[in-house]
Structure formats: C-alpha cells, structure tokens
Structure 1
Amino acid sequence: MKASVAALCALFGVLAASLAFGQTQRALLIGINTYQPAGTSAEHPAGCVYGRCEMGSFQNLDGSVNDAQAMADLLTSPKFGFPANNVVLLTDPNPPHPRPGVVILPASDTTHDGILATMQKYLVDVPQKGDTVVFYDASHGSLRVNSKGNKLTVLVSGQYVHADSTLVPSDAYKGGYDVRDREMAKIFNAALDKGIHLTVIFDSCHSGGISRGIGPKYRERELAFDPRDIDETPDTTAAPTLRTDNPALVFSAAQQGQTAKEMPTADSATEPHGAFTAALLEALQVLPADAPASLVYERVKAVLEGSNVPDQEPDLDAPAARRAAPLFGGAAGKSSKVRAAALGMGDDGSVSLDIGRVSGLGAGSEFTSMVPNSARQKIVLRVTSLDGLARSSAQIVSPAGAKVGAGDVFELSKWVPADNPPLRIWLWPSSLTEEQILAAAAQVQGAGAALVSDPAEEQWTHVISWDGTNWTLQKAGDSATVNLGATLTAGAIRKNLSAGAKLWVNLPPSSELAAKLKPADSNSAVQFANNLGAANYALTGVVTATGPAYAWYHKSELAAGPLAPNAPPHSPGCSATSQYPVRTDWVPIGSADAIDPASAKLNNYASLLAKVNGWLQLANSPADASPDEFYSLALIPSSGNSPLPADQAARQGDQLKMALMSSDRIIDKRWVYVLDIDCHGRGSVLYPRDYSENQFPNDADNGRQFFLPGAPVLRIGPPYGVDTLVLLSTEQPLADPYVLNFEGVASRGTRGVASPLEKLLNQTSGGTRGFSGEVPTNWSIGLMTVHSVPNTAAN
C-alpha cells in the first residue's frame, strides 16, 4: 500500500440483506458537491491546529450530484422498477435533471443533523417490514480521531492515533462535526431489526496518505481528518455485516488506505462522475438485474482497472451464498442475454431505452422483445444513437406500425460493437534535441549521485524531470519542485540533492525521437493522449551507466510512486496485482544513430500493449455479460482435483491442468479456445494445440468438471506476475484459431472466409480499431487471472 497513513474508506459499501423482489422498493440517494459556498471561508474551532484545521478552504466536488441522479434514473428504470415517488434525492446543489415524480429534498438538509434525520425517516420510520431500501451516498469521506478506538490510525504530531470513519456533511466548513460511522451503523441496524432489506452504497473515502508518484492528480473524495478526539470506547453492537440474522454484504469502492476518485472529464461535454459509481452503473446497466453480486464485482473491478484509475480497487466482503445472489438479494438468474427496457415511445416513432454508451453497444445493435405482442409478433429495435450513460434511442425495424410501451423488455439479438477506446500514450515535453538530451545525461553521470536505472523495480527518493522549459527536482511524496534551470548541470544536482538520495532522472524524448513515435493511422489501436491524465502509458526515461533509455510505463504506476518495500515478488516489468504490464523493456539510445531502431522497437511495444488492452476491453463486451450458460475455465493442480483458489498464488514449479467446469449441466455445444496473455503482454494460444476436436460437451465429457483433452500441462516459471487466461467459446468453429496469437496474425494464412466474429478477434489481436459490422451474440468470452510467484516468495 503506497500511503503514509493507514486509513479506512468511509464508503461502508453495500450492506445488503437477503431479499425477495416484490415488496415495496424505496431509495434515499445523497450527493454533495458544495463544501465551500462562494464568498465563505473555512471556520475552525479554537485550539484546533492539525489535520482539517490547517485547511484554508474545503474542496468542492464535481460529480457527486450527477452520481446520485444517475442512480435514481437507474433504480426507477423498468429494469429495477423502483416507483419514482419512493425515490428520494438529497443533494447540494439540487439535481439538474431529476426524473419526474422523484422526491427532491432541500439542499439545506445536507447538514450533519439534516442527514441523520433524513436517514432515520427514510431508512427506518417510513419503510415497513419486508421493504427493500437502497441508501446511496456520494460525498467527501474523512476520519475523526478516537483515542479509545480500535479501528484505524492517523498520523498526528508524528504519532499514530486511532480514528473512526466519517461522512462529511455540507456544513463541515463551519467547524461542525462529521457524520460518524457509529451514528450511521445505529440507523442501519435499526432498519435491519425492523426486517427491512437494506442496501447501502458509499462512493466516498478517506486516506491520509500522500500521493507519492508523478503525473496527473485525480480529484479524491476525501478531506483531511478531524483532530477533535471522540474519546469513546469501541461499540459492542454487532456490525451490520456480522449479524447472524439478516446478514449483510459489503461492496466497497476502494480498499483500506485507498481513495475514491472522480474521473477526469475528457472534454466539456462529458458529465463528471465518480469512478466507482460510473463503473457500478455500467455493470448494473449491462448485466441482468438478477446477475450474481460476484459478477457485478468482477465487472466493476475490470472497468476501474481498464479506465486506468490509479490506486482504487473495490472490495466485496460476503459469504459465498450471498456472493452468488444478486446485489440487491433474491435468486440469481441464468439468462446470458443483455437486456434493455423501453422508457417510452416518441411522437416520431423512436423508442428510448435504458441502456447507454457504457454498455459497449454501438449504433446498429438490435434488440428483440422477450414477449410477443398481441399479434404474436416479436418486435425488433435497432439502436440509432447512444445518448448518455444509461440512455439510447432506437427505431422499430419490424413489424411495421408496432407500438412499444414503457416497461417492455428486450434482449440483445445483434451486436454491433462500439468503437473501443484505443490505448492512449503520452510523451513528456519533447522540446530538446538528442544532442541536448545526451549532454544532460552526461551531467547526471558526472554528478556522482546514486542513480535508479529502473524506477519500476528500484526504490527512488527523488526524480528529475523536464517540464518543457526547465529541469525540476521533486522528492517522492512532496508536491513541491526545485527549479534546476534550463540547462541541467552536475553542480545544480549536487547542490539540491540531499545525502543518501536515490535519483531517478526521467529523461524526456528528444524532438527527433518524438517525431518517429506516431500511430500508424486513425484506425490504429494506439493513439496519443491530450494529457497525461488521459493516458494509459507514458514514455518514460532513465539514465543508466551506459546512457539514456526509454520504456512505456503504466500511468497508474507512475502516480502510485516508488515500489513499496513489501511489494509481492514478481519479474521485472510485470505487475503483481494488475493484468496490465507495469512497463515494457527499456530501450537504450546512446547516440543519434540509435534513434531509428529504438523508435521502431518502442512503436512495436506500444502495439503489443494495445493488443492486451483490446482483449481486456473485449472481455467487457455484451458477449461476456453472463458466463453461467457455459463452462468456465479452471486450473487444477496436477496432484489434486480441486481448482486453484482465486486468492492463492501459483508457485514456481507447480504443474496445473486446464479444466472446464460449470455449476449446471451444459447441453448446448460450443467450440473452445484458450489464450494466454502473460504478464509481459505476449499472447499465445494454449488450446487447442492443433486443429483437433475442441467442441464441448461431447459424448465423453458431459460432466460438470473435466480436463481439456490434449491440453498441455502448465508448469509455472518466469516471468512471474499476473497472467490472464482468456476462455473463448463459439457456436461456430474459428477457421483459424491462431488468429488469437498476437505475433502470428499477419504472417499466417487464413483458411476460408473470415466470419464477423473472426474479423473482430483479428482486429483485436492485430492492434487496429474501427470494425463496424454486426457480430453474432452466440459466443462468450471470459477471463481468469493467475498470480505466479518464485519459490523465494513468502507463503
């Protein structure tokens, strides 16, 4: 954990008891943007000098009100069916476009007392036994010192003291108190005692840690801790998640010590949202309403990682039975189809659907009604535009003159993929010539400092960077920079670098090198980002003993800062937690003559990264919406019969066999392919090894778990890190399974005419974009990750 303070996220997550749909559904949704009204200043009580009391002003948020309104739109959609008059919005400021019928409370109720009174009324007093109630909050979270507590710690005057989690109300800038977790837990337990089925989602968090990396700063939903001591012993009442009756599920937006972040907007037309809420909306929108909570979690986690959000990983804490149930309780469904519900029909015949741009659907996708109309005809709709996170417009394809009513439910029957976002790369300012870069590197070597040649694998304390005008020196964990001048000298380095420092010199690309690092064309899966915040990878430099070198470095890893001392063992360039490589190999450029071959190698590395990105994006397509109707992939140690647990690393020398398994009997046959993407980003087909039979279930293998016949035994060895195994199943065989290989696509000939699915897969492995044809929905793709470690790793 790259943080200087241990802190608990104030997003208590999702506290959900088992429920059956059909009872009255209610929701209380809070979103607070305004923490420092214009024309006011922060007020601090006398004697308060640390933490929050050092703040001159409270930072406002951008996306919290949008989040609360979007959740209201989703819950009141036909898919989830919450009555609008049972959905209450409490926001500051008021929501810009609330759905008609939704109850809007005054912004003045977002104070400490107002929030608690509103929670008591709408979570406990109004609902009846058996009702389903959703409580959602998007706001700042924080901590308050509690010297007698036993939960978290926060650094005060050089010493760690215990602290409790809090929700920050809108009147905190006046010096008032936050809403404490104990105050909220009391209300939650009162609702559960009454027999109310309660779901609570918090997209707010606090971590007292300092961002130690370099690069863009995400707006974090946290405020500094309140140093005023609560001085209360721990609460002996069972937490909602530990109740023996009405047990709870906790779905947290981030791990302890991480912060919940707002997504940077790409342009002025983009609506700001919290990163977690945007991912949750996407998952709930694409997946069936009765999808298992575990599947919702996996999708949210994948979307957050694919969106390049640094240091934010959701956490699902629940017993196995609750993970298998829907997020809001009830029985998990089995349908593999993406569903959409009609919101209404316009005068021009257009139909508004409750599915939008985050679904992965493109214009031209078609939906077919689940239930025939009065003439026993099924209605077919074609999507014409994606109008927002949870909105799209469609036209009736057939039958002519058909009518669609609000609440009519449709299933995806033809999928036209949305143009997946490319891999975005970014270059530091490239205003220096190669001669100037080499001269700067020589000065660094002459300074006599301890140099870090691989910042992804070595501890560094200071970094030198080029801002386009001057060289700057920055200490890890400190936002302040020291100006070293337009020309870097050994003397300036020695003068400003403290004793014992470990120096990383982040050389920018020269103007000559930057000119050769260009995407092939507009359809390339690699494109430039407008800024570092929008990038997936940045071209990063170092000074080694032999001169400058460059590599593509994952932006989130840059933001996270130096490698933690207790980081899990892994091979250089590999991540121990992410499916994306931390960096590519370093490419040396010791002279101007090396620019051409070096740029070719760097362009190739970017293409390889784009292919990894493409497969991970494809796995979040509608084709991956439900793995329950076909087998999933399992790795079973050769000495046993049980799959390797998801939280257990595979160790050096372990031998694993690939198997297919399912909780239900599978009847429909599909062709099966397995692709391995190793932690260095290389993709290769593991199964089938030739063009032999790979259709399952077959006459011999009709059980719920069986080994893949003819599959190789996987022996764990380097590189160590996170590998991704892709299970692809199709109703029609691929003419050339080796289209899945990253490196063999262009040179290997094809066998027959490629199907639309093969064209899509070929594009993904070929590093291009822009496929516009329709793709059948009779296939699926699923991912599993394997964390491998050397024998030297601790158990």
Structure 2
Amino acid sequence: DIRDKELAVYFNQLLDKGVLLTVILDSCHSGSIGRGNENFLNDPPKARYIEAADYDVKDAVEPRRPEERGALIMSAAQDFEFAKEHTDENRIAHGAFTSALLKALQQLTPDAAANDIYNSLTAIMKYYGKTQEPVLAGVDARKKGTLFALPKGAVKNRFMVASSRLEAKGVELQGGYAFGLAEGVRLAHDADTLQIIEMRGANKSLAKVVAGSKEKIVPGTLFEVVSWASSKAPALKVYMPKAVPGNQLQDFVKTYQSVKAAKPLSWVTDIAKANPDKIYYLENGVWNYNDKKEGKKELTGGLTAAAFQKSLGTANSAFVNMPPPTALYDQVVQSFKNYNNIEVVSNANEAQYTLIGALNDKNKLAYALVKSQVTLQDTTESLPARTDYIEFNNDASANDIAATLSESAFKIAKIRDWLMLSSPKGQNKFPFKLSFQGYSSGKLLATDRVKVGDTLSLFIEEDLSEGGWKSNYSKRYIYVFSIDSKGTMNLLFPSAASGNTENRFPVTDNNNVAEKRVQLADFIVSLPAGADNYFLLSSEQAINNLSIFDQEGVLTRGPKPEETGGHNPLEDVLYTGSKTRSQVIITPVTWGIHKHILRTFE
C-alpha cells in the first residue's frame, strides 16, 4: 500500500522538470491519488484487501496537489470506493474503468478532449452496471486539451452527451436537467439522430431514435445537441420594434447627432441606468415621446431637427430609442428561432426584454436587449438589466450582432429557468440548506444585504424545518453556484480541479449521524451590485461535467482595481425545458435545489 501524499511527491518532482504529466489509475480508493490532505468529507474508510497495520503513518507533510500544477489525473473510483472488474465482449477481463476507457478511446478521435473521454467512459461504466464514480482532476486547460497534452488544432466547443444503454423505448443518455437537456431536444452522431422523450433526473434522460439505427448505437457514443427545445417554464419574451429601411435609419441617426451637438443637456446612453425626462421612440411609423410629467405625446412633424429641438422644451435629460434596420431585424428574428425558449412578441407590454437602439458614448449606433418589465411571478428582479450594447456599423454587421444578441437572450432564458425551478415534490430526502457568515466576525448574516469587498464563509447546514437528516437517507453529491445580476454563473463548490472527490454529503460519523454544519468555501463579495442568487443542487448521481455551472454574463463586468482578466467558461448549458408550456416543472425525487438571495451594494 502507498499513500496519496507519497505519490504526490513523485508527481511533483516530474512537474518540476516541466513534464506534461497524465496519470491514469485503475485501482480501489484512487479518487484522491496525488492529493496531500486527508479525506474528511466522505464516509469512514472501507476495509481494503490487505492486513490491517498496527502503526500510524500519519505525518505533517502536505505536498502541493499535482492536479493544481498542471497534471491531469484520471482514476477509476472515488477515494471511498472499490474499483470493479469487468469481462468484455471478447471474454477478456479488465478493470471496469480500463475496459470503459479503451472503448471510449476507440470511439473518439485522437484530438478528443480529456473531458469528452471522461464523459464517454463514465457512461460506458454505468452501462456495465458499475456504481463507482471515476474521477478527473486537473486545471481547466488540461481537461479541455487532449489526454496526453499533445497539440491539436482549434476545436469548436460542442455540447456532447454520451449514450448509456439501449432500451425498448430508445436510448438512455448520461445527461439530464442539470445539463440543460429537456424533452424535445435533438442530438446527432453521424447518421443517428435522437430526440429526448423523458427526463429521468439531473443527470439522466431517455431519447427515441428518429433517424438511423438504434441497434448500431453503442454505450459511450457522444451525441451532439443540434436542436434545443423550449422550457416548461414560460419562454423568455422579447419585443422587437418594427424595422425601418437602412437609409431611413441613417437619416434618423444624423438628425439625432445634430440635435445632440446643438442642445446641451444630459443625453442618456444607457436607459437601464437612468430615468430621463423624455423618451423618444418610433411606433407604427410615427415618432412619439413619453414626457415624465405629461405622458405620451406624438412628435408633430416627425424626427426632424426643428421638431425634435422644440419638443425638448426645458427637459434636462432625454433618451432616443432607435428602431432596428430591416437587415438586423430579420437576422435577430431568424437567430431567435434557433432557441425555442425565446419568443418574439408583437406587444411590448408582454415582453420581459426589448430590443433597444441607442447612440453610445462614441456617438455610434448600438443595440442591446433591455429588461422592460419586472414581475414577482417571473422573479425577473434577479435577471440582468440589459445585455452588452453591440455597435451597428452597416448591414454586413447584422449577422454578428444577431448571433451575439440571441446567445445573450439564450443565457438569460437559462438563468430564468433556474430561478423558476422548483425542487421535487413530496418528502425532501436531503434536508440541507446554505448559510453564510462573516469571515472575520464568524457571525451569521443578520440580513440579506452584503457589501462589495466583504469576505464571507459559505456553509451547508441541516434544515430542521424539513425534518432534518435521517439515518436511512442516501448521501448526495452537492454543487453550489451563484448567478449574479449580470448573468454570470460561478461554481463555488466543489472546485473544478478537484471534481467530485470529497463531494458526498452530509458528513457523517460511524453511526450515520450527520454533522449539523460544514464549511464549504470562503469568497469575496464582488461587483456587480444587485441581487445575487446562490443555488445548492443535490443529486444522488454525480454530475461530472462541472463546467456546466459556469457561464459568462450577458453584461461584461468592468475590471476590478486589482485585475483586468475575464472569465473563460463554456457556454453550452444549463437551461431546462420542453415545448410544453407549464408553470410547474415535474422533476424526479433523486435531486433537489435550494436557493438563497443576497443583495450586493457598493
């Protein structure tokens, strides 16, 4: 027997020499290979098949974790599990992990990312009936790179889901609600196309074969999502003002620019941050304006320089909403059709977001989606106030703008689905919730208001209002992530490098008595100000692709005083849905979600 920390020393010696290290281990209790700390979050260690030693080998040495220094470590099981054996179709005995890895490598290209290999072999192992959970540990770059860190060409990020097993009704997939999958989603691999017909939890679904041959589909085949279905929650509704010809729009812009230059008042560039005295907009071919005191009025004479200046009167501030040109309107509507959880509406009062055109600080025309109404039912107070403004230069730029805006709308729709998602009905068999306390004071937060720059400690604690923990309940994997007011999603626990190692809750003693409260992480409250949502997702089955809990925001953060770096998350995931519209999402009972809102201020 050899300890993890002893192996870590040898691994670190290789890394010190610049070796691109990949470690693959098919052995019992291998989930913490290379780690220096003890496993304090999982079940008490199970007996190994060796004689018990009567001496204590514990020491104070804590080597740095190799996976945090660039090593990629792939192992057969969690550090509390046994690695099972398996006999393949040729009656050759392997470790189940080794057999699944070989199958995955046979089915994937040499340029396959380590993440894809891992997802494929995990699905194959589930098909084999093995309950062990393999572990992939390493920094994000290694997980996205090839298995042995060999160079590869630029590879487009694709959302891939592995097949698990064949059933009478179709193909079981290793992906569920937490991956953004839903009834109606279509996936393809070569000539085979699947459509999801049943959701089976956070990490499983069933698909029927709509093209190709079911019998030829083997476990571990990676299918790419090719068509998204809409959410069971109501679609995100976007209002698109009627378009105008490009030359007419240019005339409007020139008039606006000339009046701006001549009239010294506060010209609003971001309507989401201001409440101007007058707002000008084109409606059914007629220019109107809303006066803060007198209400809606028609701009007599249209948007001419003379009529515009006269209507301003004594206003101290004004905003002009420019309509979209025909080329942009057509491209945006077409792009939205690729996302069935987004609906274009003709009535502005029905929409959560509106396409807004404005002159930015550089006096250039730019477009954004801006939140147009707030309702408690939709929980939109936690949605981004707007997306980034994208400059419109000419008709040739319409396609790129449409692609950016539709992707932003898709992200908002996914966030909205999370905000509206309810835990499974019936008895909650994971009675735990999130709690926060000041890092320095050690005191529980007395309010939901926190200040930018505060350091908080994050805990999971037993929820006695839900009946508390029972000894016959099953432990779960937990995932804690946040969504801020600009739509950025960040994973707080577990770390992406550690994966699901040491992720089984609650922490219990030998009698399965749970610890009442366990600290998960410390973090600094950062911009933006607004409502930040924190989610605790629990699942009896591990979610292996932790990158699904990261998403770039739809509104770019400004750099913090100490940094100018940005996020680099995958963007393909985390909305729920099907084409059936319902306020209630029916969910299985093997997972649950708890939400907590903190309101950040500067």
TM-score using structure 2 length: 0.51
* Distance change in 2, residues 1:774/1:717 (3 Å): closer
Q: Partner of 2:439 in structure 1? A: 638
- Whole-angstrom CA distance in 1 between matches of 2:594 and 2:578: 21
Secondary structure in 2 aligned to 1:549? strand
Q: Partner of 2:419 in structure 1? A: 616
Q: Partner of 1:34 in structure 2? A: none
- Whole-angstrom CA distance in 2 between matches of 1:418 and 1:511: 29
- How far did 1:716 drift? 1.4
* Distance change in 2, residues 1:419/1:443 (3 Å): same
- Whole-angstrom CA distance in 1 between matches of 2:318 and 2:586: 52
- Report whether the alignment pairs 1:707 with 2:519: yes
Secondary structure in 2 aligned to 1:496? helix
- How far did 1:463 drift? 0.8
- Whole-angstrom CA distance in 1 between matches of 2:433 and 2:426: 13
Native 8 Å contact 1:649 1:789 kept in 2: yes
Q: How does 1:474-489 map to 2 (within 5 A)?
A: 474-486=290-302, 488-489=303-304
Secondary structure in 2 aligned to 1:610? helix
- Report whether the alignment pairs 1:429 with 2:429: no
Native 8 Å contact 2:460 2:519 kept in 1: yes
- How far did 1:615 drift? 0.9
* Distance change in 2, residues 1:611/1:693 (3 Å): same
- Report whether the alignment pairs 1:464 with 2:280: yes
- How far did 1:497 drift? 1.2
Q: Partner of 2:268 in structure 1? A: 452
* Distance change in 2, residues 1:605/1:737 (3 Å): same
Native 8 Å contact 1:741 1:765 kept in 2: no
- How far did 1:617 drift? 2.1
Q: How does 1:406-445 map to 2 (within 5 A)?
A: 419-430=232-243, 432-445=244-257
Q: Partner of 2:483 in structure 1? A: 677
- How far did 1:489 drift? 1.2
- How far did 1:622 drift? 4.8
Q: How does 1:644-723 map to 2 (within 5 A)?
A: 644-645=445-446, 647-664=447-464, 665-667=468-470, 668=473, 669-689=475-495, 690-691=498-499, 692-699=501-508, 702-708=514-520, 711=521, 713-723=522-532
- Whole-angstrom CA distance in 2 between matches of 1:626 and 1:540: 46
Q: How does 1:308-457 map to 2 (within 5 A)?
A: 419-430=232-243, 432-447=244-259, 448-449=262-263, 450=265, 451-457=267-273
Q: How does 1:476-555 map to 2 (within 5 A)?
A: 476-486=292-302, 488-518=303-333, 519-521=335-337, 524-544=340-360, 545-555=362-372
- Whole-angstrom CA distance in 1 between matches of 2:430 and 2:541: 16
Secondary structure in 1 aligned to 2:271? coil
* Distance change in 2, residues 1:540/1:523 (3 Å): closer
Secondary structure in 1 aligned to 2:388? coil
* Distance change in 2, residues 1:648/1:677 (3 Å): closer
* Distance change in 2, residues 1:663/1:611 (3 Å): closer
- Whole-angstrom CA distance in 1 between matches of 2:426 and 2:453: 35
Q: Partner of 1:388 in structure 2? A: none
Following superposition, which runs of at least 4 residues in structure 1 exceed 6 angstroms of deviation? 624-628, 771-774
**Which residue of 547, 553, 562 corresponds with 1:738?**
547
Q: How does 1:200-349 map to 2 (within 5 A)?
A: none
- Whole-angstrom CA distance in 1 between matches of 2:487 and 2:455: 22
CA deviations 1:344-378 (Å, max 9, x no partner) are: xxxxxxxxxxxxxxxxxx99xxxxxxxxxxxxxxx
Query: Tell me, which stretches of 5 or more residues in structure 1 are unaligned?
Result: 1-361, 364-416, 561-575, 745-761, 791-795
Q: How does 1:99-178 map to 2 (within 5 A)?
A: none
Secondary structure in 2 aligned to 1:499? coil
Question: For residue 591 of structure 1, what is the amino acid of its counterpart?
Answer: N
* Distance change in 2, residues 1:452/1:632 (3 Å): same
Native 8 Å contact 2:289 2:297 kept in 1: yes
- How far did 1:464 drift? 0.7
Native 8 Å contact 1:452 1:458 kept in 2: yes
- Whole-angstrom CA distance in 2 between matches of 1:673 and 1:663: 17
- How far did 1:770 drift? 4.1
Q: How does 1:560-579 map to 2 (within 5 A)?
A: 578-579=381-382
Question: For residue 697 of structure 1, what is the amino acid of its counterpart?
Answer: P
Secondary structure in 2 aligned to 1:784? strand
TM-score using structure 1 length: 0.39
Secondary structure in 2 aligned to 1:556? coil
Question: For residue 685 of structure 1, what is the amino acid of its counterpart?
Answer: L
* Distance change in 2, residues 1:580/1:530 (3 Å): same
Native 8 Å contact 1:472 1:485 kept in 2: no
Q: How does 1:758-773 map to 2 (within 5 A)?
A: 765=574, 769-770=578-579
- Whole-angstrom CA distance in 2 between matches of 1:681 and 1:743: 7
Q: Partner of 1:595 in structure 2? A: 398
Native 8 Å contact 1:581 1:681 kept in 2: yes
- Whole-angstrom CA distance in 2 between matches of 1:496 and 1:536: 29
- Whole-angstrom CA distance in 2 between matches of 1:717 and 1:622: 28
- Whole-angstrom CA distance in 1 between matches of 2:400 and 2:241: 20
* Distance change in 2, residues 1:661/1:478 (3 Å): farther
Native 8 Å contact 1:628 1:662 kept in 2: no
Native 8 Å contact 1:627 1:782 kept in 2: no
- How far did 1:643 drift? 2.5
- How far did 1:764 drift? 6.3
Secondary structure in 2 aligned to 1:722? strand
Q: Partner of 2:210 in structure 1? A: none
- How far did 1:578 drift? 2.0
Native 8 Å contact 1:524 1:768 kept in 2: no
Native 8 Å contact 1:537 1:555 kept in 2: yes
- How far did 1:512 drift? 1.1
- Whole-angstrom CA distance in 2 between matches of 1:644 and 1:419: 35
Native 8 Å contact 1:577 1:722 kept in 2: no
Question: For residue 684 of structure 1, what is the amino acid of its counterpart?
Answer: N
- Whole-angstrom CA distance in 1 between matches of 2:390 and 2:246: 15
Question: For residue 696 of structure 1, what is the amino acid of its counterpart?
Answer: F
- How far did 1:774 drift? 7.9
How many residues were matched structurally? Answer: 335
- Whole-angstrom CA distance in 2 between matches of 1:502 and 1:766: 39
CA deviations 1:138-176 (Å, max 9, x no partner) are: xxxxxxxxxxxxxxxxxxxxxxxxxxxxxxxxxxxxxxx
* Distance change in 2, residues 1:743/1:457 (3 Å): closer
- Whole-angstrom CA distance in 1 between matches of 2:368 and 2:358: 9
Q: Partner of 2:18 in structure 1? A: none
Native 8 Å contact 2:351 2:373 kept in 1: no
Question: For residue 554 of structure 1, what is the amino acid of its counterpart?
Answer: K
Higher relative contact order (CA 8 A, sep 6+): 2
- How far did 1:633 drift? 0.7
Secondary structure in 2 aligned to 1:623? coil
Query: Tell me, which stretches of 5 or more residues in structure 2 are unaligned?
Result: 1-181, 184-229, 554-570
- Whole-angstrom CA distance in 2 between matches of 1:648 and 1:639: 18
CA deviations 1:731-755 (Å, max 9, x no partner) are: 22223333333469xxxxxxxxxxx
* Distance change in 2, residues 1:632/1:663 (3 Å): closer
Question: For residue 392 of structure 2, what is the amino acid of its counterpart?
Answer: I
CA deviations 1:622-676 (Å, max 9, x no partner) are: 527776951111122112333323x342112211111011243423322111121
CA deviations 1:38-91 (Å, max 9, x no partner) are: xxxxxxxxxxxxxxxxxxxxxxxxxxxxxxxxxxxxxxxxxxxxxxxxxxxxxx
Question: For residue 617 of structure 1, what is the amino acid of its counterpart?
Answer: M
CA deviations 1:408-465 (Å, max 9, x no partner) are: xxxxxxxxx98222111111121x1222212211101211333111112134100111
Q: Partner of 1:3 in structure 2? A: none
- Whole-angstrom CA distance in 2 between matches of 1:529 and 1:482: 24
Secondary structure in 2 aligned to 1:719? coil
- Whole-angstrom CA distance in 1 between matches of 2:536 and 2:386: 25
* Distance change in 2, residues 1:727/1:703 (3 Å): same
